[in-house]
Amino acid sequence: MANPDFGALHAAMQAQVDQQFLPGVSTALFKGSHVVDTFCCGFADKEAAIALREDHIFRMFSSTKLVTACAVLMLFEEGHIRWDDPIETYIPELGSCQVLKAGATRIDEVEPARTSITIRHLMTHTSGLSYGIFDPGTLMFDAYNKADVMDPGKSLREMMTTLSALPLSFQPGTQWEYSVATDVLGRLVEVISGQSFGEFLAERIFAPLGMVDTDFWVAKDKVERLCALYVGVDLLDPTKPGLLRADDKPFPGAYLSRLPRESGGGGLVSTLGDTVRFIQSFLPGGPALLKPATIELMCQNQLAAGLCVQFPNMPRFETKGFGLGSSVSIGTSAWEPAEVVGEVGWGGLAGTIWWINPRIGIAGVLMTQRYFGFGNPYSFVFKAQAYKALGFN
């Protein structure tokens, strides 16, 4: 990169703040494992006029999933698991599952699962589990919420018991559905390691990388660094300017005390600096936690032919497959750079984004706090400008 120009990227991010789409935003770009640009603008708290800094703490939501995937990949490297192991080998409660029949009108219209849920199914969201978030009005949405699957007062072990009483949405391996599968993987880590999930992450990932502000809660001496959370004025129209305060998401008092549930699917808080160190661990020359061959495997599409990322009431993302813990770009789309093929990435419900393109050796991180933000237009603006700044279109 000769004299890279990040001015257009910075201006585009500042515009997202000025136009009331984001309260504040911090970004980092990588060439190889080297951070070549960081940028921070806007507010951690608009009402209090607190300028956003790189040490502010963000709710990571589903950006947590990469951390969980890393933990499972460690167990794989150490020979503790194989990808096609039945999950009931480790979590007996999830054996002998029932599956909701096609066209069912009641939650008890079920048939036996034809195959066990495997660890590969859990890593790729093809297990048949659901979430109870993205498909309101469905049998599974109602069942998950009635059972309070996401109750923060339940430990991961107790969550497995709750899940065991619910049917799967489909036969394992036959469809893709975003789900609590990553929380099941957190419990898998506990069973194999003999530690709590949080203890394992702290000892094996956070401490080695110096991720001093990443945890499942924010200690009292750090609360002043927790960003305020906002939501757009119209969830159905993310192009409408305006932000409303939403600090009670996902529930009042979230992250302010230790709770039994350490969610591998969405429970962590972190900073830009900590996230940068974690992303570097996947990049050549970075502080390695995993072997290059394991990272290469993580980045390979694991979905069967005909399957792709697909959310309820949205078009199929035909260019998005799924690897061992994150999406994989298997083609190009009209709203992404042409060089995106081979990229892995994901984001969180509160707006955080990460992506790594091992094929061309670049990566990016964006931190913000807009609830239901991931996938909003700003994420595509960031990626387009980042690729250009790094020398790609």
pLDDT for 314 equals: 87
The secondary structure of residue 260, as a DSSP letter, is S
pLDDT for 374 equals: 87
List, for residues 158-203, the tens digit of each pLDDT value. Answer: 999 999 999 999 999 999 999 999 999 999 999 999 999 999 999 9
pLDDT band at 4 (very low <50, low <70, confident <90, very high): confident
In order of 42, 190, 208, 230, the CA distances from 23 in angstroms are 6, 37, 32, 7
**From CA 264, how far away is CA 206, in angstroms rounded?**
14
The stretch 317-323 carries a mean pLDDT of 97
Q: Which two tokens stand for residue 164?
A: 């065991």
The stretch 32-38 carries a mean pLDDT of 97
Q: Which two tokens stand for residue 257?
A: 């005390």
Place of tokens 């009331």: 20
**From CA 265, how far away is CA 348, in angstroms rounded?**
10
**From CA 362, how far away is CA 324, in angstroms rounded?**
19
Percent of the chain with pLDDT over 90: 96
Q: Is the pLDDT of residue 215 over 90?
A: yes
Q: Is the pLDDT of residue 51 over 90?
A: yes
Place of tokens 């201006």: 11
**From CA 128, how far away is CA 100, in angstroms rounded?**
9
Omega before 238 cis (within 30°)?
A: no
Asked if 281 contacts 287 with a C-beta cutoff of 8 angstroms, the reply is: yes
pLDDT for 3 equals: 65
Q: What end-to-end distance do the CA atoms of the chain give, in Å? A: 14
Q: Is the pLDDT of residue 299 over 70?
A: yes
The radius of gyration computed from the CA coordinates of the chain, to the nearest angstrom, equals 20
Cα diameter, the chain: 63
Q: Is the pLDDT of residue 45 over 70?
A: yes
Find, among 4, 9, 2, the residue nearest to 27 by Cα. 9
Number of helices followed by number of strands (H, E) in the chain: 11, 15
**From CA 360, how far away is CA 371, in angstroms rounded?**
31
**Cβ density class 82-95: b for 16+ within 10 Å, e for less:** ebeebbebbbebbe
The stretch 272-292 carries a mean pLDDT of 97
pLDDT for 61 equals: 98
Domains observed in the chain: 7-64+213-389 (3.40.710.10), 73-193 (3.40.710.10)
Q: How many CB atoms lie within 10 A of CB 47?
A: 9
The stretch 376-380 carries a mean pLDDT of 96
Asked if 261 contacts 151 with a C-beta cutoff of 8 angstroms, the reply is: yes
Residue 334 phi/psi, 5-degree rounding, is -65, -25
Q: Is the pLDDT of residue 370 over 80?
A: yes
pLDDT for 375 equals: 87
Look over the chain and give the mean of its residue pLDDT values, rounded to a whole number.
96
Q: Is the pLDDT of residue 1 over 70?
A: no
The stretch 98-111 carries a mean pLDDT of 97
**From CA 206, how far away is CA 189, in angstroms rounded?**
15
Q: Is the pLDDT of residue 343 over 80?
A: yes
Find, among 221, 229, 276, 283, the residue nearest to 253 by Cα. 229
Place of tokens 């393109």: 357
Q: Which two tokens stand for residue 136?
A: 């309101």
List, for residues 119-149, the tens digit of each pLDDT value. Answer: 999 999 999 999 999 999 999 999 999 999 9
Find, among 135, 134, 129, the residue nearest to 98 by Cα. 129
pLDDT band at 2 (very low <50, low <70, confident <90, very high): low
In order of 109, 127, 134, 174, the CA distances from 101 in angstroms are 6, 15, 20, 13
